[in-house]
Amino acid sequence: MSLTSRHASRFRPVEVTAEGADVQARVRHLLAGLRPGEAHLLDALHRVQEEMGYVPPQAIPLLATHFQTTPAAIYGVISFYSEIRTEPPPKVEVQWCSGPACLLKGGRNIRAALEAVLGCAMNSSTPDGAIGLRLVQCDGTCHLAPLVRVGGRYIGPLTVAEVVRLARRLKEGGQLS
Amino acid sequence: MTALDAYRPLRQAAEERWRVLAEPSIPVFRVAVATCSKAAGAGETLAAIREELARRGQEALVLEVGCPGLCFADPVVDVHLPGYPRVLYGPVRSQDVPRLLEAILGPQKALPELALGMIPEEGIPPAAYQGTSMGNLPLLQETDWMRLQVRRLMANVGIIEPANAEHYIARGGYEALARALDMTPEEVIKEVLDAGLWGRGGAAFPTGRKWDFLRQARVTPKYLICNADEGDPGSFVNRNLLEGDPHLIIEGMAIAAWATGATRGYIYIRDEYPLAVQRMQEAIEDARRKGLLGQGILGSPLELELEVVRGAGSYVCGEETGLIASIEGMRGMPKIRPPYPAQAGVFGMPTNVNNVESYANVPLILRHGASWYASVGTERNKGTKMFSLSGNIRRAGVLEVPLGTPLRDVILVAGGGVPDGRRLKAVQPGGPLSGVVPASRIMARDGLPLEPEPFREMGMLMGSGGLVVMDESTCVVDLAIYFEWFAEDESCGRCTTCFAGTRRLLEILRRIAQGGGRPQDVELMQLLASTMRYSNCAHGQAAPTVIMSLLGLFREELDAHLLGRRCPARVCKGLVRYEIVEQAPELAEAAQVCPTGAVVREDGRYRIEQALCIKCNACREVAPAAVQVVDAF
């Protein structure tokens, strides 16, 4: 897959390794049925992310060609939306709710404890990619505030001591409960 | 043939099949499966009910329905036994299921300890259930949570299978569309105007007038957009409808399409609501199958195609021009108006953008008429409004009350007030950009009626439905930091006044919270705030306004931080210190739980190593008598 000549000079080419070629084949398959000039770009990004866990750099030139725009424009969109990831997600992700109900019930303390125990800052992962911490927005599950989500499970209302124990279990590769 | 003629057979068939549920011959279980209840374990409860029914060999109908709003009692289960009124139970955890079924399938017919209330039905006299446990249950409508409520928008939520068009039709759904199709577009708009419906997204602009702008546009195709990007943290009223009764929104959009000449529509749902996306997509497909979307709807010339667009995590996409940019596949940056969407909206075509709840109100008006619609509410504001209650409150959830209902009553009666013997401090209506109302205003004689005008008088907005309740343990500087962090994080980056202004404000506030406040900070923030008002959209304009009004209302508390380097609520981490005040035995556990090893033992005595302490409060939770938070300076 090559870029159109007009855009090639503006975009740092992504090295097409064997793995990269595989990514491109998968992305091409996912884009079937999506058209430019319609409300389909976000859908495309969601499809790629659902399949691969994130939007890999190899997907960007393909998306650009498919949607008849520049790689820069695609990258611009990707970087604008907080739910689109450009890095592979960690194996275990602790999602910390940043909403107001959680805040009022001690959410900041929970965040501080999580960062201290897991040894990584918000929106980052441990160097081995085993565990990560991610800030998420309120989705209206405020009756469980303050809460965290792990693997799609909601855990709350939580005390800081409970979070410390939970984070230690996860760090040791253990189960949720 | 009129559209109503085309509708009647649909309705008859739907009612026929609905009878199995309305007058059941076997028990009917309705399990609320929504984001809120699933978080509390509704999935497990549902599985447990199915399993227990199978184990008992009991025939029953089990429905997955939307959340009836009682999030505080999630997971909730509605049980309808043949010949008895419905009873709502909650919280019903999976382990409660065996005893719940044991009780209700036995002679007692009810399990009072888990019952929230009974929903009486016409045709079932109280005598029918006297002598069972059901006889002593309160009526759900008379409970504190429900008694202020008038459920019109939420009339189907928790009763029907959300995506099932037939269920919706059996309950009177799509009749309004049929009626509208037998009227002219002008008559439909007049009806919406007469009802006094204004936009529920926060700006409160008359919906009928907005529609008229689009109707007058000459360019085609015209577009409709449903703004379901409910980004205000603490607001979840739209989610309740999207997950609980999506056809109500589809019907509202179809009526809008007829009134305006639009032929395509987008429902833009935020990424945080995957279940809403799924239910809406299913509902659209079902409506299409029934001929309620597509071409020649109900035998009329109306043509409408709807599509769900899933957002990707951006608050400013809730602003209509940002939302349009996002649908077009661009960065969701708000544009400069004019042109307004009615002139040049999505893909440059004339577009009407309404909030979920605005569209949802329309079928009620067309079905029952403007005068019925206006029978609740106040002189100036008609109809009902949904609110979500959260924060420092006993009962969190979603409610629907007539406009003008006092906020005080919503908090004290429905919400049950502030827990743990604390006092109410303030309420944040809408989102981080709407403002904060102090308790003194809420407790004033009128109780602060929930309608736009009293909020506008205070320089605030009533907002889209979020009500976040704060008690006296809240620190206003901490809260201001939260609001400003949110505004900074979500700024699209177009205007320097906004992206740099929010950042500067946040820096100043954080410095104050660290004990580095300076007397001239207030003046500096005021200067920033007045500059930021030159931002293009409401995001940059409102962000500083909220902070300034907040700090103005609680000036004493701000001054304590600024001049006294003291946080009265002992929240700001830079202004407090954790100290051990008593050598209690619980300290061993505190030392064990401390995430940084700051609780150290020396010569048989515990102390807190201040250099290690991150002030997370874990030690104080396990040893409340031994650890105290004191002023750092």
- pLDDT tens digits along A92-124: 999 999 999 999 999 999 999 999 999 999 999
CB B627 within 8 A of CB B578: yes
Whether the Cβ atoms of residue B191 and residue B320 lie closer than 8 Å to each other: no
Residue type, A89: P
pLDDT band, residue A177 (cuts 50/70/90): low
Four-way CATH pick for B174-373: 2.40.10.170, 3.30.930.10, 3.40.50.11540, 3.40.50.12280:
3.40.50.11540
Stretches where chain B sits below pLDDT 70 are none
Instruction: Kindly determine whether residue B616 and residue A109, on different chains, have CB atoms separated by under 8 Å.
Output: yes
Residue B485, classed as helix, strand or coil, is helix
Whether A39 sits inside 8 A of B40 (CB atoms) is: no
Domain spanning B573-631, CATH class: alpha beta
Closest alpha carbon within chain A to B273:
A139
Q: How far apart (Å, rounded) are the C-alpha atoms in residues A143 and A160?
A: 17
Q: Residue B233 in contact with residue B432, Cβ under 8 Å?
A: yes
pLDDT, tens digit (0-9, with 9 covering 90-100), for A40-93: 999 999 999 999 999 999 999 999 999 999 999 999 999 999 999 999 999 999
HEC-encoded secondary structure of B367-392: HHCHHHHCCCECCCCECEEEEEEEEC
Chain A interface, best mutation among B44, B617, B620, by max A CB count within 10 A: B617
Q: What is the pLDDT of residue B203?
A: 84
Nearest Cα to Cα of residue B188 among B180, B179, B198: B180
Could you tell me the CA-to-CA distances from B243 to A125, B38, B39, B69, B157 in Å, in that order?
33, 12, 14, 11, 9
User: What is the per-residue pLDDT across B104-142, written as a single tens digit (0 to 9) for each?
Assistant: 999 999 999 999 999 988 878 888 888 888 988 999 999
Q: Are strands A92-97 and A131-136 parallel, antiparallel or unpaired?
A: parallel
Architecture of domain A5-80: Orthogonal Bundle (1.10)
Report chain A's mean pLDDT, rounded to a whole number.
89
What are the structural domain ranges in chain B?
A: 17-142, 174-373, 384-471, 476-562, 573-631
d(CA B498, CA B506): 12
Residue B267, SS3?
strand
What pLDDT sits at residue A115? 97
Amino acid at A114: L
> CATH number of B476-562: 3.30.300.20, 1.10.3720.10, 1.10.3080.10, 1.20.1440.230?
1.20.1440.230
Determine the 3-state secondary structure of A40 from DSSP: coil
Q: Give the helix/strand (H/E) hosting B261.
A: none
Question: Do the beta carbons of residue B633 and residue B575 sit within 8 Å?
Answer: yes
What b/e readout covers B287-305, taking b as 16+ CB neighbours within 10 angstroms?
bbebebbeeebbbbebbbe
Strand order in the sheet with B223-228: B305-310, B264-269, B223-228, B351-355
A92-171 placed in CATH 3.10.20.30: no
Cα B473 to Cα B564: distance, rounded to the nearest angstrom: 19
d(C-alpha B265, C-alpha B280), whole Å = 13
Which B residues in the span 154-193 are in contact with A, Cβ-Cβ below 8 Å?
A: none
Q: In chain B, which residue's Cα lies nearest the Cα of A44? A: B329
Cβ separation of B233 and A98 shorter than 8 Å? Answer: yes
Please check the confidence at residue A4 and state whether its pLDDT lies above 60. no
Helix, strand, or coil here: B241? helix
pLDDT at A15: 55
Task: Say what the pLDDT of residue B130 is.
Answer: 83
Residues contacting residue B172 through CB under 8 Å, at least 6 positions apart: B367
Cα–Cα distance, B474 to B418 (Å, whole number): 12
What's the rounded Cα separation, in Å, for the pair B486 and B300? 47
What tokens appear for A58 in the block?
A: 């190899």
Nearest residue to A133 (alpha-carbon basis) of A154, A112, A153:
A112
Give the tokens for residue B510. 């954080």
Residues of B within 8 A of A138 (CB-CB) are 233-234, 236, 272
Distance CA B23, CA B16 (A): 11
The percent of chain A in helix, strand and coil, each rounded to the nearest 5, is: 45, 10, 45
Closest CA to A167 of A108, A159, A141, B599: A159
- The reported pLDDT for the residue numbered B528 is 95
A98 close to A136: Cβ distance less than 8 angstroms: yes
Q: Which two tokens stand for residue B348?
A: 């440059």
Per-domain residue ranges of chain A: 5-80, 92-171
CB contact under 8 A, B617 and A160: yes
Q: Which fold has domain B17-142?
A: Glutaredoxin (3.40.30)
Instruction: Count CB-CB contacts under 10 A for residue B240.
Output: 33
Test B314 with A67 for CB contact under 8 angstroms: no
Distance of alpha carbon B374 from alpha carbon B381, whole angstroms: 8
Give the minimum alpha-carbon distance from B251 to chain A in angstroms, rounded to a whole number.
22
**Any A CB within 8 A of B502 CB:** no
Q: Which residue of A has its CA nearest to B489?
A: A82
Q: Nearest residue on chain A to B483, judged by CA atoms?
A: A100
From residue A46, alpha-carbon distances to A35, A49, B76, B465 in Å are 15, 5, 32, 29
Nearest residue of chain B to residue A157 (CA atoms): B40
CA distance to partner chain B, nearest, from residue A26 (Å): 21
Residue A2 pLDDT class (50, 70, 90 cuts): very low
- Which residues of chain A does B235 touch, with a Cβ-Cβ cutoff of 8 Å? 140
Is A6's pLDDT higher than 50? no
Please check whether residue B437 is in contact with residue B549, taking contact to mean a CB–CB distance below 8 angstroms: no
What is the dotted CATH code of the domain comprising B384-471?
Answer: 3.10.20.600
Considering only the C-alpha atoms of chain B, give the largest distance between any 2 of them, rounded to a whole number of Å.
Answer: 94
Burial class, B633, CB count within 10 angstroms (exposed 0-12 / middle 13-18 / buried 19+)? exposed
According to the model, what pLDDT value does residue A14 have? 53
* Strand B223-228 with B351-355, pairing: parallel
Check residue B422 and give its pLDDT. 96
Q: From CA B35, how far away is CA B445, in angstroms rounded?
A: 37
How far is B103 from B93, CA to CA, in rounded Å?
15
Q: What are phi and psi of B311, to 5 degrees?
A: -65, -175
Question: What ipTM was assigned to the predicted interfaces of this complex?
Answer: 0.95
Tokens of B487: 């505004």
